[in-house]
Amino acid sequence: MPEGPSVRKFHHLVSPFVGQEVVKTGGSSKKLNPASFQSLWLQDTQVHGKKLFLRFDPDEEFGSLGNISLPESLEKGERKEEASDQKQASGPSSQKISHPSSQSLELVAPRGDHGLERLRGDTPAEGAERWLQVSFGLFGSIWVNEFSRAKKANKRGDWRDPIPRLVLYFGGGGFLAFYNCQMSWSSSPMVRPTSDILSEKFDRGQALEALGQEQPVCYTLLDQRYFSGLGNIIKNEALYRAGIHPLSLGSLLSPQHLEALVDHAVEFSADWLQGKFQGKQQHTQIYQKEQCPGGHRVMKEAFGPPGGFQRLTWWCPQCQPRLPPDGQAQVQIS
C-alpha cells in the first residue's frame, strides 16, 4: 500500500478542492454510496501516516471556490509516480489484478435538498462533522482531472482500465478519482502527529523507546503507533543504510545504532516525498534488489511477529550482520 510520502502527495493534490461543492458523483464503491456526497462541501483535509481524512459538510462555510489549478510539475509527478509505484510494488511474484471496464462507471446527478437522499448508514448522524477516512490498498491512488488507464493487458488479453472507487466532480470544474481504497465515515480524524514520521512534531524519544524493545526491529518499524506512515520500502531501506540486520533485537542495539536507524527512516521518507513533488522516482539500494551497492548477494525472506502479517524483507548478510546473543558484534553505520 502507499506509504507516508505517497499519501502526503495525495493530500496536496486534494487540498486545492477545499471550499468547493460536490456537484456530481460516480464510482464503484458498495460500502459508501457515491450519491451520498452530492451537494456536500469539502471543508478540510488532513493526513496522518498512511491515512487521508476529508471533511465534508452540507453547508458552505468558506464562501469561495478553491483554486483547482495544480503546478505542472505536481501533475506530471503524479502520473510518473503512479506508474513507478505500480511497477515497484508489483515485484516479480505479485499477482496481476484485473479490473472491470471503466465504461461501467455510473455518474449520478444531484438529487434532493443538500444531497440528503442517501442510503441509510452512509454518513454519520445529522449534525456530526463528516470526516471521510481513506485507507489505500496496494495500488491505491488519487487522480486529478483525469482517470487512470490500463498500462498492459490482463491474462485474458483484455485492456481494461481500472475502475475508480469514488469520483467527485466539483463546482469549480475539476474532479478527483479515488482508486483501490477503503473509505469510512468518522466524527473526527484520528491524527497523532507525534507518531507521524513526516510530521515536524514526530517524537523521536517515543520512537527510540519503542525500538529498544526486546523484539526484532523490523517488527517495530512497521508499528504504526510509533512510526505512522512507515511501510515496507522505508523499513528495508532504513535497515540497510543503518547496517542493521532486520531480526536484530532492539534491546541489544546501542543507542547510537537506534539513533542511526531513526535518522535513516526519517531522511529516506523526506527525500522520497521531495522526489514525488519533483516527478522523480525514488531509487532504492536494497528493496527488491539481487545485489546490494557493495556487490554482495541480497537475501529475501518474509518476517513478521508470530500470528501477525509477514512482510518480505531484503537484507545483505555482509553489510547487515546479525548480532550474537550477547549483542557485542559491531554494526557498521553508514
Q: Which three cell numbers stand for residue 25?
A: 458523483
Can you tell me the distance from the alpha carbon of 40 to that of 32, in angstroms, rounded to the nearest whole number? 14
Any residues with CB less than 8 A from the CB of 70 and at least 6 apart, and which? 13, 16, 144
Report the catalytic residues. Answer: 2-3, 50, 311
Can you tell me the distance from the alpha carbon of 82 to that of 16, in angstroms, rounded to the nearest whole number? 20
Can you tell me the distance from the alpha carbon of 257 to that of 286, in angstroms, rounded to the nearest whole number? 19
Beta strands in the chain (DSSP E): 22-26, 41-48, 51-57, 107-108, 130-144, 166-170, 175-186, 299-303, 311-315
Q: Which one-letter amino acid corresponds to residue 89?
A: A
DSSP H stretches of helix in 157-306: 204-211, 217-221, 232-242, 255-277
* CA proximity to 52, closest of 183, 165, 166: 183
Can you tell me the distance from the alpha carbon of 334 to that of 326, in angstroms, rounded to the nearest whole number? 23
**Which residue shows C-alpha cell 443538500?**
114
Q: Which one-letter amino acid corresponds to residue 206?
A: Q
For residue 312, which phi and psi values (nearest 5 degrees)? Answer: -60, 135
User: What is the per-residue burial (b if ≥16 Cβ within 10 Å, else e) of 249-287?
Assistant: bbebbeeebbbbbbebbbebbeebbebbbebebbebbbb
